[in-house]
Structure 1
Amino acid sequence: MKYRAEIDGLRAIAVVPVILFHAGFSLFRGGFVGVDVFFVISGYLITSIIVGEMTDGAFSFARFYERRARRILPALFVVMLACIAVGWRWMLPREFDELAKSAAATTLFVSNFFFWSQSGYFDTASELKPLLHTWSLAIEEQFYILFPLALLAAWKYGRAAVISVIGLCFFLSLAYCQHMSRLDPFFNFYLAPTRAWELAAGSLASFVVVKRRAALDNGLSILGLSLILASIFLFDKTTPFPSLYALAPVLGACLMLIYAVEGTAGARLLSQPLFVGVGLISYSLYLWHQPVLAFARLRLQSTPTAATTLLLFGLITALAVLTWRYVETPFRNPRRFSRRAIFANAGFAAAALLGFAVIVGASGGLPNRYSPEMAALATEVDYRVPRVSECFGDVLSFVPPEKSCVYHAQEARKVALWGDSHAAALANDLAEQLGEAHASLQQFSFSGCPPILGVHFAEIERQLCPEYNRAVFDYLKAHAEFKDIVLVARWPVYFEGFGYDNGEGGVTEGAKKYFLALPSSKGAEFYKDAGRIASVGAIFRESVDELLRMGRNVVLVYPLPEAGRDVAISFARNKLFGAAGEAPFSVSYAFFEERTHAFTEQLDLLGDNPSLLRVRPSELFCNSLVAGRCIFERGGLPLFIDDNHLNKHGATLVAKQIVAAMKQKGWL
């Protein structure tokens, strides 16, 4: 196949936005579409090469996989080994174990399955996973393994049959992608069945033969580039992706590949030395960018500043150039490394990485790298909410009320816990405290779903919340034995949104669209409605009043403070890096009051009722050890799993507070 400099230029257009997106540049908020452009390029090139060789009767599976191995494996193994070396020094045992497992999955070209399996509610933040980006390499490798076999099978029936089969795969995969974008966004993002249409689009583009017309070629090549750039600058994290939206960058890439030929404006632009140069090292740039950014965030424990990010870009570029020059280029030269040497070295490296992953996994992340004190502290990071997979509905499915988890069922006094993930994090420890008071607990919890009737969310993945809450309410109404109902949720989120900046380095992303919304014709505009908080507050109070009218006791647990960063990990890393101070990890109480003011104000309108008990965890965490501060650690131990969910230590404190308040009321 004849070399086309403009394709290297297109690679530059794909890789740079991906890096800028992952670095957090808001201007490139849709930069993730660069991966889709890469898929199209791969489909186009691989199909062109295989079809060309099959036409000439010269296709060889051994030669094909040799080229893929030369192109992909050497640089990939170098990056993985570098990640392991840095992770050895900077990662806590659980993180190092996950890194080793992800390296093994990458070696076997199944890292997309690995990261998909990890996409749970309480999982590590994606920006801290050094090898997360290898999911796209896994999809390409799966394509490289299966596609030549399928193409060879269809080739005997002629060119038209091949195009028809690829076209059918394109439409089936696209339809499935659109379907899964609503049903399971994690599956849709990571797995090949919903990404295959992008590779198929590139394959189909390779078969297109057009009569060259300068004006048409110029116009369509510019249109293609415009579609890609529009996607980069207009899409964002709220765009359902991949889905039909992905047609824009995919079609744009196809138009560029077909029409940006020599002599066109698009080709002249992409053939500029800068674009071609970046395109030549694009694979190494892609390989290095995620590890460098992830380890920087891990070491700094915050989002890098603009100045630091520029230095990181320099480091990524330098590593990419060196890798291209001294790893990629030599290993692509058959005179330097024979086919036998390529496969032998790849096999040895793969075996070493897989063996290392087994050792790391068996030891629990090699905790002996650290002192016994540090290793013991690191175990706090490993805390997992008990029975979470059994008892907690995680975004896309809920546990039906009749199948919900029961603790200490033999006790006569029945207590119901109803709420979102904050309720799930509290359940086990509240059950322990209630058990000592001779009461049982039944857990009703669903991710991102506050215990409020008559509300809904605009997000597709949260449409089950109203159904779940109605089912729980009807269940409780039908079972009068539940005398006490404890309501727990991350209340500020539903009134103030996910995103906030506490002014002390604690920043979380999020948007107003997460707000609790009324089912009204206003749609998204309701989020901007000045009366929205009062309306939602009224609905919430009505939900509480409904429970009170049923003759039940209601325990309303007020908001927890939010840290803006993972508490357990930050606490352990501070010790690891020698950055722990004398003052406990905390946040301003003034920020906590500002963050929770809207909810508290609405709640206070409920007034007094002998069957209503207000429990304020802020009394435990705020102004207790340090005046004007809300703490996230006590007695040398963290109190939270992440930035807002309680761990065992914190949950025990709050559970004791709730049970003590119920006893004081005479309910227990």
Structure 2
Amino acid sequence: MSIVQFRTDINGLRAIAVLAVVLFHFAPELLPGGFAGVDIFFVISGFLMTRIIFNGFDKNTFSLGTFYKARANRIIPALAMLCLTTLAIGWFYLTPADYKTLSNDTLNSIVFISNFFYGGDAGYFDATSKERWLLHTWSLSAEWQFYIIYPLILVCLKKVFSLSQLKITILIGTIISLIYSVYSTYQTPELAYYLLPSRAWEMMLGGIAFLFPLQYLNSKNKARLEIIGISLIVIAYLFISKNTPWPGYLALIPVLGTFCILQANRQHSIFTDNPIFQKIGLWSYSIYLWHWPLSVLGIYLSLGTNWLYIGAPLSILLGFLSYRYIEQSNVNPANLNLKNILLYKPLLMVFGIAILAGLAKEHIYSHYRLSDKLISFMQTSTYEGKPGRCNGHWNKKMPECVYGEGELGAIVIGDSHASAIVSAIGRAMPNQSVLDWSMKMCPTIDGLYEISRGMKGTGCGDFVNYALKEAKEKYKNVPIIIVNRTSQSLYGRNEKTATKPKRFVGETFSERNDAYRQSITEGMINTACEFAKSNPVYVVRPTPELITNVYNQKMRDLMTGDTTKRVSISLDDYQKRHQLAWQIQDKMALKCGVKIIDPTPYLCDDKACYGDYIGTVLYSDDDHLNEEGGQYIMPAFKQIWD
């Protein structure tokens, strides 16, 4: 195969793409659409891969083995070094939970399937995704999958189609993939963002730029076409944001912009052929690899917006070093025989990193990795479940568990927030027991049915209806304690790991509206008052939601040397989140004499609400109290048994 002329416009485009991605990840407010730089990379890759394949077809010299090995030489060594470095640093500084996640992500990244797992976990712009050290490898996985499938299909089709027919087939495939991309972006946005079928059209459109070049463009028209392309990319960077459904039809803006620049083919342009962009373009792959972990580091250590001024230049420096000493290390392709395949360096790198990731996952709690202080903290602060806890699932029988000894002193009903503290109530009640009627994801509303992702759930409404009858007929005058995560029912989840809110009957996929919240309000008040006809009723003020996993955050702080910082949210944030929930409970008290139990004086002061106290973690995650937390707030319940 003859040597193809180096195109400075493509190299400059790489710089335009990677600089935008870096700036977006370090300071998204400065360039809200910078993530579209990845789409530019996809178009460039499609152009270059199609050029290699069809040049080989023209000369009858194309080899799948040589093609795959060349791609492996280009991508794997630098990626392997990144994975090795993050595993090594994470060994010393990541919590067991974070290191387990990193180990899994490393394995998925090095075998180029990470996009499948990220697509199933959360959206690219979700808060929890910003703490995944190898999230950016999703694009490498999608691209590698394209490298595997695209030439294989073309080689097969070439046996029955002519080259001109093959070109038309690619054009048709591009249109089909674009239509699917637009459809899936609105139906399954997380999967559409990460997976190849909704991204393939971008790479194939790059191939079309090679296969159908615009002929006979004079220098003026080339310059005009390039300016159109640059303008479209700038528009995408400035006016598209993380709130834009992506990739959908709006992805055509940066993609067509890149297409125009490729068609213009200007080799001495001030936009792309300048010394800075040419250097950045050469280092772009390695810059892309290293910038994201540096961005995560800034979030992990809470370094704030000023980290941009250190992290971005450091990304470029590491990109240069990686390009100079890893990408240019000349891993030569081997001949296709078993011995050389087994000794092929990129393949050995993949196996080596995969084995290391597996070993790292098995040793996340190792004494060699964690100090005695951290191990002691883990032993005193982790609570995985509660002994004797009843995990309720309605099947015409009450899920009943009893805590404590003696005569029945109270019944606790509610969702998982009730489950979190019921055993502590049982231990706190003197010479009496507590009956557990809690059930996960079941607000105490008569007649409500949970629906999760369109599937009928646990029969929550029947469960509460039956509880009303049992309380009246079997447990009359026994105090009822209602504990719910009311604000989740009203507004949806708010923690970092939240994706889509649960839905209830009568609610659409659209944002929960005032009419919906009014129905929830009336349902909660009416149900509490129905209980109050036969039993004393107590309702517990909402547990503060700390947004982040308290235990994991405390582990992070300890591993980074910060032993004084407390996990908290401001009191103002707590009050804003739960204002309506408080109003609902106040209406219960006015309407039918429901008594209110307020644990917030034990968890909050006049400035903030906290998830820990003197080094002891009070939560099992971000919003559920653990056994220590439940015991800590028990003085608020004294009015029940005094």
1:135 aligned partner: 138
Q: Judge conservation of contact 2:424–2:630 (CA < 8 Å) in 1.
A: no
Verify the 8 A CA contact 1:154 1:161 in the aligned structure 2: no
Contact kept, 8 Å, 1:109 with 1:138, in 2: the verdict is yes
- Rate the CA distance shift 1:641–1:548 in 2: closer, same or farther, 3 A: closer
Q: Residues 386-407 of structure 1: CA distance to partner in whole angstroms, max 9, x if unpaired? A: 99xx989xxxxxx9x7699945
Range moving further from structure 2, 643-652 or 632-641? 643-652
Please tell me whether the aligned partners of residues 180 and 188 of structure 1 are also in contact (alpha carbons under 8 angstroms): yes
Report the alpha carbon displacement of residue 642 of structure 1 after superposing the two structures with TM.
5.0
What is the TM-score when the length of structure 1 is the normalising length? Answer: 0.76
Residue number among 218, 234, 238 corresponding to 2:239 in the alignment: 234
| Equivalent residues in 2 for 1:492-571, closer than 5 Å | 540-548=520-528, 550-551=530-531, 556-563=539-546, 565-571=548-554
Change in Cα spacing, 1:445 to 1:329, as seen in structure 2 (3 Å) is same
Which residue does the alignment assign to 1:572?
A: 555
Q: Which runs of 5+ in 2 are unaligned?
A: 472-479
Report the CA distance between 1:633 and its aligned residue.
0.9
The equivalent of 1:600 in structure 2 is 582
Structure 1 residues 539 and 343: alpha-carbon distance in aligned structure 2, compared to 1, 3 A threshold: same
Pairing 1:364–2:368 present: no
Is 1:30 equivalent to 2:33 in the alignment?
Answer: yes
Structure 1 residues 434-488: Cα deviation after superposition (integer angstroms, max 9, x where no partner) = 7994534252518xxx888999xxxxxx997999799744664477446468452
**More divergent stretch after superposition (488-497 vs 196-205):** 488-497
- The share of aligned pairs that are identical, in percent, is 27
Deviation per CA, 1:73-108: give whole Å up to 9, x if none: 111112122212211221122222222222222221
1:537 Cα deviation from its structure 2 partner: 7.1
Instruction: For 1:392-471, list aligned pairs within 5 A.
Output: 406=399, 408=401, 423-424=415-416, 427=419, 429-430=421-422, 437=433, 439-445=435-441
Structure showing greater radius of gyration is 2
Deviation at 1:220, TM superposition (A): 3.7
Instruction: Give the structure 2 partner of residue 396 of structure 1.
Output: none
Instruction: Give, in angstroms, the shift of residue 288 of structure 1.
Output: 0.3
Distance 1:454 1:278 in 2: 62
Counterpart check, 1:86 vs 2:89: yes
Counterpart-to-counterpart distance in 1, 2:569 and 2:289: 37
* Paired position in structure 1 for 2:189: 185
Deviations 1:550-583 (A, max 9, x none): 55677544333344654223322332233213x8
Shift of 1:274: 1.9
Cα pair distance change 1:105/1:470, threshold 3 Å: closer
| Cα distance change of structure 1 residues 605 and 481 upon mapping to structure 2, 3 Å threshold | closer
219 and 635 in structure 1: CA distance in 2 versus 1, 3 angstrom threshold: same
Could you say what secondary structure the match of 2:441 adopts?
strand
Partner of residue 611 from structure 2, selected from 632, 641, 651 = 632
Q: 1:406 to 1:55 in 2, by over 3 A?
A: farther
Q: CA deviation at 1:369?
A: 1.6
Shift of 1:137: 0.6
Question: For residues 28 and 591 of structure 1, do their structure 2 counterparts lie closer, same or farther at Cα, with a shift above 3 Å needed?
Answer: same
**1:497–1:351 Cα change, 3 Å:** closer
CA contact (8 A) 1:451 1:469 kept: no
CA distance in structure 2 between the aligned counterparts of 1:612 and 1:565, rounded to whole angstroms: 32
CA deviation vs aligned residue, 1:246-294 (integer Å, no higher than 9, x gap): 232223222222x331279xx4412222222211111011000011122
Alpha-carbon distance between aligned partners in 1 of 2:541 and 2:299, rounded to the nearest angstrom = 32
Look up the match of 1:213: 217
Residue 71 to residue 451, structure 1, CA distance change in 2 (3 Å) = farther
Residue 150 of structure 1 corresponds to 153
Distance change >3 Å, CA 381–CA 279, structure 1 → 2: farther
Given candidates 598, 603, 607, the residue that maps to 1:621 is 603
Assess if the C-alpha contact under 8 Å between 2:411 and 2:434 holds in 1: no
Query: Would you say the 8 A contact 2:485–2:542 is kept in 1?
Result: yes
1:222 maps to: 227
- Alignment TM-score, normalising by the size of structure 2: 0.79
Q: How far apart are 1:546 and its partner, in Å?
A: 3.3
Query: Offset of 1:598 from its aligned partner?
Result: 6.0
The amino acid of 1:377's aligned partner reads F
Residue 52 of structure 1 aligns to a residue whose secondary structure is helix
Partner of 1:395: none
Contact 2:286/2:319 (CA < 8 Å) preserved in 1? yes
Q: Residue 18 of structure 2 corresponds to which residue in structure 1?
A: 15
In 1, Cα distance between equivalents of 2:315 and 2:287? 7
How many angstroms apart in 2 are the aligned matches of 1:469 and 1:557? 25
Matches of 1:197 and 1:203, distance apart in 2: 9
Query: Shift of the alpha carbon at 1:621?
Result: 0.6
Q: Call closer, same or farther: CA 1:14–1:453 in 2, change over 3 Å.
A: farther
> Contact 2:17/2:37 (CA < 8 Å) preserved in 1?
yes
Q: What is the CA RMSD across the aligned residues, in angstroms?
A: 4.7
Residue 272 of structure 2 aligns with an amino acid whose one-letter code is L
Q: What is the CA deviation profile of residues 362-412 of structure 1, one whole-angstrom value per residue up to 9, with x for unaligned ones?
A: 23353532223312424789877799xx989xxxxxx9x769994549999
The aligned amino acid for 1:632 is G
C-alpha separation in 2, matches of 1:262 and 1:14: 17
Which secondary structure state, in structure 1, belongs to the residue aligned with residue 243 of structure 2? coil
